C-alpha cells in the first residue's frame, strides 16, 4: 500500500543535477474514456484559454472545474492547438489521490521513453485500481500517445532511491514539492515497474511536445491481475 501522499518530509539539501533531456519519442498511455480531441485543441492562442473557458463555463459545469485547475498553470506555460488536450488534461483533471510526484494538488504529465515502459507503468496502476474496486473480468481500453521531450530536467536516475521507491511516494512527493517551488521543469527518473525503463514527470505543459495519437491497447483483467495486453489494429476495408 502506498504511504499517504500528504506526509511532509524536508526537502533534501543535496539536489539532483539538472540535465538536458532530449527524447525524440516519449509515450503516454491513458484510458480511452478520455476524449482524443478537446477544447484545448480548438484554441489557437494559449492566451485566450482562460477567457474562452470562462465564457463556456457559464453553461458547462464540467468546464468550470477545468477552469479552476487551469489557473494552477502559469499562463506563459500553457499550450493549445492540435494535440494539446492530452497534455493539458494532465494539469486540469487532477487526481486527488496524488501520484509519484504530486500530492494531488498539482498536475504532472508522465511519459515513458519506450512503449514497453509505458505499458508496465500503466498495467501496475490499472491493476491496483481494478483490484480495489473488485472489478470482475473485463477488457480495459487504453489509448497511447506519442510526444517528445527537449528540456532541462532534474535527473534522479543515478541516485535518490527513496524518490523512486516502488511502494512509497512520500519522499518523491516531498522532492517534487521542493523542486516545483524552486522553478523546476520536472524530473527524469528510473521506472519502478520496468527494469531499465526511464520516465519523465513534467511539471508544466510546455515541457513536452503536443501529442499524436498512436496505438490502442486492451488490458485483459481476469479478476485478479491484468493477464494480457493486446494491441488493437484496424482491418483495412475496401
The confidence band for 45, taking pLDDT boundaries of 50, 70 and 90, is low
Distance CA 205, CA 144 (A): 18
Sign of CA dihedral 216, 33, 29, 128: negative
pLDDT given at position 58: 43
Q: Is the pLDDT of residue 80 over 90?
A: no
Contacts of 232 (CB under 8 A, 6+ apart): 141, 215, 216, 217, 218
pTM of the full predicted structure? Answer: 0.81
The three cell numbers of residue 188 are 527524469
Q: Is the pLDDT of residue 10 over 80?
A: no
The three cell numbers of residue 168 are 512509497
Please identify which residue in the block is written with the cell numbers 489494429: 233
Tens digit of pLDDT for each residue in 143-166?
999 999 999 999 999 899 999 999
Q: How many angstroms from the chain centroid is the CA of residue 126?
A: 14
45 DSSP 8-state letter: -
Distance CA 238, CA 228 (A): 31
Q: Is the pLDDT of residue 39 over 90?
A: no
Please, are residues 8 and 174 in contact by the beta-carbon 8 Å criterion?
yes
Q: How many angstroms from the chain centroid is the CA of residue 99?
A: 9
Please identify which residue in the block is written with the cell numbers 539539501: 13
pLDDT given at position 92: 84
Partners of residue 26 on adjacent β-strands: 147
Tens digit of pLDDT for each residue in 54-79?
444 444 445 444 555 677 888 899 98
Mean pLDDT value across residues 84-102: 90
Sign of CA dihedral 138, 230, 87, 108: positive
Helix, strand, coil in percent for the chain, rounding step 5: 30, 30, 40
More confident residue, 71 or 126: 126
Whole-angstrom CA distances from 237 to 131, 213, 232, 234 are 38, 21, 16, 9
pLDDT given at position 110: 98
Amino acid at each position: 500500500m502506498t504511504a499517504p501522499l500528504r506526509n511532509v518530509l524536508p526537502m533534501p539539501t543535496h539536489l539532483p543535477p539538472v540535465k538536458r533531456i532530449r527524447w525524440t519519442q516519449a509515450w503516454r498511455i491513458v484510458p480511452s474514456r478520455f476524449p482524443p480531441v478537446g477544447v484545448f485543441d480548438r484554441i489557437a492562442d494559449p492566451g485566450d484559454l482562460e477567457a474562452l473557458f470562462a465564457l463556456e463555463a457559464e453553461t458547462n459545469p464540467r468546464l468550470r472545474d477545468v477552469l479552476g485547475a487551469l489557473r494552477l498553470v502559469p499562463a506563459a506555460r500553457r499550450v493549445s492547438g492540435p494535440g494539446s488536450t492530452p497534455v493539458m488534461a494532465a494539469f486540469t483533471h487532477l487526481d486527488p489521490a496524488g501520484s509519484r510526484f504530486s500530492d494531488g494538488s498539482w498536475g504532472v504529465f508522465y511519459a515513458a521513453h519506450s512503449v514497453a515502459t509505458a505499458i508496465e507503468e500503466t498495467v501496475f496502476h490499472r491493476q491496483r485500481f481494478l483490484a480495489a474496486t473488485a472489478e470482475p473480468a473485463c477488457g480495459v481500453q487504453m489509448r497511447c500517445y506519442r510526444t517528445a521531450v527537449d528540456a532541462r530536467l532534474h535527473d534522479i536516475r543515478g541516485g535518490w532511491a527513496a524518490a523512486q521507491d516502488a511502494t512509497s511516494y512520500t519522499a518523491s512527493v516531498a522532492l517534487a514539492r521542493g523542486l516545483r517551488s524552486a522553478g523546476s521543469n520536472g524530473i527524469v527518473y528510473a521506472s519502478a515497474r520496468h527494469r531499465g525503463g526511464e520516465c519523465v514527470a513534467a511539471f508544466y505543459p510546455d515541457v513536452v511536445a503536443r501529442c499524436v495519437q498512436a496505438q490502442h491497447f486492451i488490458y485483459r483483467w481476469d479478476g485478479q491481475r491484468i493477464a494480457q495486453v493486446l494491441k488493437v489494429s484496424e482491418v483495412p476495408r475496401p
